[in-house]
């Protein structure tokens, strides 16, 4: 089901799918694989998705999805929204999609992604946040001219009806990619730029070094920047000056900046206690 969450930049999480694999150094201490291979290892969505190693459970690339008739699929349709939205009273509630998986993993069937987008298209009173380390797959999916038709077919299969939003891309879906170093930024931003969306965002978490993202802020590619360090006993160090530098880059381009957390149990310095929200693009009707 969907649940309320302690993740500061969203109101709830929704997990109709499971499974992932290591993509880059930022994945090493992933909280999701610890949970999937720990207390959730017998849950139908996470059973078999991790393999034990000397350092603990590691995602092994096994993909899962809830059965079509499972209530988790239609949870967003019945949710009333947060009583206290993160963005303030009267704001739309936000739902982080698949925080325990990567929706755009290369082994994920396209039909499963279609089902997730079908539900998002119908639960139009909420904003959905999709974050991936595989933006090249997300770009290919969003730019496929057949995708809107497949989404409609998936909605009819799951819900037996379809309210056509009249827009593409969906106006309530935000898309982002995770970057932890300059290397991942250079690699992944090429693909995020190809993703039209109501909001495009970067999650610089865990931030492992100073990153220069000035050019994509200046040209309007990125609408929102989230910054954070690792949590947990094995959290790697994040220099607060790296976060300050990101904050300065955002200030110079009027890009909203959201400081999520420092590494470990370190408190956020007063000058970094900044939590801003993005402006949502409006798209013309295309259907």
Average pLDDT over residues 249-262: 97
Lowest-confidence region among 23-27, 119-123, 241-245, 277-281: 277-281
Q: Over the stretch 81-113, which tens digit does the pLDDT of each residue have?
A: 999 999 999 999 999 999 999 999 999 999 999
Query: Distances from the Cα of 109 to the Cαs of 4, 63, 114, 132, 184, in angstroms?
Result: 27, 9, 9, 15, 25
For the whole prediction, is pTM greater than 0.85? Answer: yes
Kindly state the tokens that stand for 260: 């999520």
pLDDT of residue 164: 81
pLDDT of residue 286: 53
Residues 6+ positions from 182 with CB-CB distance below 8 Å: 209, 210, 211, 212
The percentage of residues in the chain with a pLDDT greater than 70, rounded to a whole number, is 98
Residues 6+ positions from 93 with CB-CB distance below 8 Å: 11, 12, 79, 81, 82, 85, 126, 127
Query: Distances from the Cα of 152 to the Cαs of 65, 118, 119, 280, 282, in angstroms?
Result: 19, 7, 10, 24, 21
Residues 6+ positions from 274 with CB-CB distance below 8 Å: 247, 257, 258, 259
Domain ranges within the chain, ordered by starting residue: 3-20+65-272
């Amino acid at each position: 089901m969907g649940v309320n969450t302690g993740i500061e930049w969203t109101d709830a999480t929704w997990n109709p799918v499971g499974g992932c694999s290591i993509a880059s150094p930022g994945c090493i201490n992933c909280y999701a694989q610890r949970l999937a291979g720990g207390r959730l290892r017998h849950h139908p969505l996470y059973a078999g998705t991790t393999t034990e190693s000397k350092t603990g459970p590691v995602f092994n690339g096994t993909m899962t999805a809830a059965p079509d008739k499972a209530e988790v699929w239609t949870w967003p349709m019945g949710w009333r929204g947060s009583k206290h939205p993160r963005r303030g009273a009267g704001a739309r509630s936000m739902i982080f999609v698949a925080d325990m998986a990567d929706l755009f993993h290369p082994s994920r069937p396209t039909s499963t992604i279609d089902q997730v987008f079908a539900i998002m298209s119908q639960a139009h009173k909420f904003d959905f946040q999709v974050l991936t380390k595989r933006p090249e797959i997300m770009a290919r999916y969003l730019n496929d001219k057949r995708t809107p038709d497949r989404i409609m077919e998936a909605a009819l299969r799951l819900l037996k009806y379809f309210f056509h939003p009249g827009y593409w891309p969906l106006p309530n879906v935000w898309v982002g990619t995770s970057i932890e170093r300059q290397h991942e930024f250079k690699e992944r931003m090429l693909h995020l730029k190809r993703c039209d969306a109501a909001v495009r965002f970067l999650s610089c978490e865990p931030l492992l070094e100073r990153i220069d993202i000035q050019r994509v802020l200046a040209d309007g590619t990125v609408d929102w920047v989230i910054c954070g360090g690792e949590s947990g006993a094995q959290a790697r160090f994040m220099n607060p000056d790296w976060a300050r530098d990101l904050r300065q880059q955002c200030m110079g381009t009027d890009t909203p900046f959201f400081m999520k957390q420092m590494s470990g149990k370190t408190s956020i310095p007063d000058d970094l206690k900044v939590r801003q929200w993005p402006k949502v693009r409006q798209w013309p009707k295309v259907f």
